[in-house]
C-alpha cells in the first residue's frame, strides 16, 4: 500500500470540489496507515458505517465533528458509541432509525439527513435498492425526525459505485430537488447535501476525473438545492483504489479436460478479492523469474481454497507461468484490505507500506 497515493487522490478530489467536505469512506480501506495519513490533512473528513470505524478513527486522533455516519441503518449500540465520541451527523431512511437516534436527542444536537433513491446509469454497483426513499417519503421522514427532537439538516444520495457517467450526478440532483424544495417550503432549514461516492478508479482504462463530475454538479447546486452550504462527498475508489497493489504467487498449474489451463494462486476471493466475480477487474501482470520465449497464453485464475467460488478471471499472459512465478494485481486498494478472511486455513495477505520504505508503490512491487 501507499498511503501517500491515497492522500494525493483525496487532494485531487478536494481541488475539484474546493467548497465541499471530502469524507473518506473508511470501509474501503481502514488500514491504520491509510487512516493516519488522511487524518494528518487539515480539514479531512471521514464517513463511517459502524462504531468500529469511529473507534479506528479516534485512534488516529480524528474527532467526531469530522465524521459523517452515513449508514442509513445502524445498530443502537453503535449509535451510542458514536455519540459518545462526538459524532452528531447521521443519515437515515426509515422511521425505525429515527426512534434509535431520538434516544440521544437530550444529550446532543443530533443532525439527520435523509438518504434518497436516485438513478444509477453508468454505475457498476448500484446501491439504489438497498437504501433510500422517494421524494415525498423523504420530506415526511424529515418532518417526523423534527417532531422527535432531531435536527433535519439535509438529503443524501449515492449514484452507485464505480460510476463512469458524470451526468448521473446531474440526474440525481434533479431527482432530489423536489424533496429539497418541498422541505424548505415546510419550514425545514436544510443546509447539508451529501453527494455520496461513485468516483471511479481506472481499473481497465481511463475514467472521468473528479473535475468532470464537478463540472456537472457545481452549476446545478444553487437551483437544485438552494442554501446547501455543507456539500459532502464520500469517495472510495477515487481515493484508495490506486493506493494498493497485490502480489500473488502461483502455487499450482493444471490443464483441465475442457482444455483450459488454470493457475492457482496463493490468494483469491477469500483474500479480499470478492468484487472480481461482480465485475471489478484489476489489471494483472505476470512476474516471472527467468526469460522465456514469448508465447501468448490464456489462464483461468483461481485462489488456493477448496471452495468453488474461489475463482478470479481469465488472464492473457505473454509468458508461460509456472509454480513459483508471481502475479501483480494493480489497484487493489479499495474493498480488499479488511475483507479477506483466514477461511480454509489460508492467511490474509500481509501489508507492506511503500511510504515507510521510502519507495513509490511501483518501485516496491518491482522488487517483490
Ligand X SMILES: Cc1ncc(COP(=O)(O)O)c(C=O)c1O
Q: Which residues bind ligand X (CB under 6 A)?
A: 25, 47, 70, 127, 158, 161, 196-199, 234-237
R_g of the chain, CA atoms, integer Å: 22
Q: What is the nearest approach in angstroms of ligand X to the Cβ of residue 162?
A: 6
Given the residues 163, 306, 332, 368, select the one marked as catalytic.
306
Nearer to ligand X, 212 or 251 (CB): 212
Q: What is the nearest approach in angstroms of ligand X to the Cβ of residue 321?
A: 31
What 3-state DSSP class applies to 171?
helix
Nearer to ligand X, 157 or 264 (CB): 157
Distance of CA 365 to the CA centre of its chain: 23
Q: Cell numbers for 304, please give them.
A: 488456493
- Asked if 332 is an active-site residue, the reply is no
Q: What is the nearest approach in angstroms of ligand X to the Cβ of residue 187?
A: 28
Euclidean distance between CA atoms 300 and 317, whole angstroms: 11
Euclidean distance between CA atoms 131 and 139, whole angstroms: 16
Euclidean distance between CA atoms 274 and 88, whole angstroms: 33
Nearer to ligand X, 24 or 299 (CB): 24
Nearer to ligand X, 90 or 180 (CB): 90
Nearer to ligand X, 50 or 218 (CB): 50
Nearer to ligand X, 54 or 247 (CB): 54
Q: What is the nearest approach in angstroms of ligand X to the Cβ of residue 354?
A: 23
What 3-state DSSP class applies to 22?
strand
Q: What is the nearest approach in angstroms of ligand X to the Cβ of residue 25?
A: 4
Sheet order of strands, 261-265 included: 284-287, 326-329, 246-255, 261-265, 297-302, 311-317
Nearer to ligand X, 237 or 326 (CB): 237
Euclidean distance between CA atoms 87 and 68, whole angstroms: 7
Around Cβ 40, how many Cβ atoms within 10 Å? 11
Shortest-Cβ-distance residue relative to ligand X: 197
Dihedral sign (CA 56, 62, 64, 65): negative
Q: What is the nearest approach in angstroms of ligand X to the Cβ of residue 295?
A: 38
Please answer whether residues 191 and 154 qualify as being in contact, where contact means their C-beta atoms are separated by less than 8 angstroms: yes
Q: What is the nearest approach in angstroms of ligand X to the Cβ of residue 87?
A: 14
Please answer whether residues 203 and 282 qualify as being in contact, where contact means their C-beta atoms are separated by less than 8 angstroms: yes
* Angle 139-143-149 from CA coordinates, rounded to 5°: 145
Q: Which residues of 114-153 are buried (b: 16+ CB within 10 A; e: fewer)?
A: bbbbbbbebbbbbbbeebbbebebbbbbbebbbebebbbb
Cite the active site residues. 306
Amino acid at each position: 500500500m501507499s498511503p501517500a497515493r491515497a492522500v494525493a487522490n483525496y487532494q485531487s478530489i478536494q481541488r475539484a470540489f474546493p467548497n465541499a467536505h471530502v469524507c473518506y469512506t473508511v470501509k474501503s480501506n481502514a488500514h491504520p496507515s491509510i487512516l493516519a495519513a488522511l487524518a494528518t490533512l487539515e480539514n479531512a473528513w471521514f464517513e463511517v458505517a459502524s462504531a468500529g470505524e469511529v473507534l479506528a478513527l479516534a485512534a488516529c486522533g480524528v474527532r467526531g465533528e469530522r465524521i459523517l455516519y452515513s449508514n442509513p441503518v445502524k445498530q443502537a449500540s453503535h449509535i451510542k458509541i458514536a455519540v459518545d465520541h462526538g459524532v452528531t451527523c447521521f443519515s437515515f431512511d426509515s422511521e425505525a432509525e429515527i426512534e434509535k437516534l431520538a434516544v440521544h436527542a437530550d444529550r446532543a444536537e443530533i443532525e439527520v439527513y435523509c438518504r434518497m433513491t436516485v438513478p444509477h446509469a453508468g454505475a457498476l454497483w448500484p446501491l439504489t435498492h438497498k437504501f433510500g426513499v422517494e421524494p415525498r417519503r423523504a420530506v415526511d421522514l424529515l418532518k417526523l425526525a423534527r417532531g422527535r427532537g432531531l435536527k433535519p439538516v439535509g438529503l443524501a444520495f449515492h449514484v452507485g459505485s464505480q460510476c463512469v457517467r458524470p451526468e448521473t450526478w446531474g440526474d440525481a440532483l434533479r431527482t432530489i430537488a423536489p424533496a429539497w424544495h418541498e422541505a424548505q417550503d415546510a419550514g425545514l432549514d436544510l443546509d447539508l447535501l451529501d453527494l455520496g461516492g461513485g468516483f471511479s478508479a481506472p481499473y481497465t482504462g481511463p475514467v472521468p476525473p473528479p473535475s468532470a463530475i464537478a463540472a456537472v454538479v457545481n452549476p446545478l447546486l444553487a437551483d437544485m438545492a438552494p442554501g446547501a452550504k455543507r456539500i459532502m462527498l464520500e469517495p472510495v475508489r477515487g481515493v484508495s483504489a490506486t493506493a494498493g497493489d497485490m502480489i500473488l504467487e502461483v502455487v499450482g498449474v493444471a490443464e483441465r479436460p475442457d482444455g483450459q489451463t488454470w493457475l492457482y494462486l496463493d490468494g483469491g476471493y477469500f483474500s479480499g478479492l470478492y468484487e472480481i466475480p461482480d465485475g471489478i477487474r484489476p489489471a494483472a501482470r505476470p512476474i516471472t523469474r527467468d526469460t522465456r520465449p514469448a508465447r501468448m497464453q490464456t489462464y483461468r485464475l483461481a485462489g488456493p481454497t477448496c471452495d468453488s467460488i474461489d475463482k478470479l478471471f481469465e488472464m492473457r499472459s505473454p509468458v508461460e507461468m509456472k509454480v513459483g512465478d508471481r502475479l501483480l494485481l494493480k489497484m487493489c486498494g479499495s474493498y480488499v484490505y479488511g475483507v479477506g478472511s483466514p477461511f480454509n486455513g489460508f492467511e490474509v495477505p500481509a501489508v507492506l507500506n511503500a511510504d515507510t520504505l521510502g519507495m513509490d508503490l511501483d518501485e516496491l512491487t518491482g522488487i517483490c
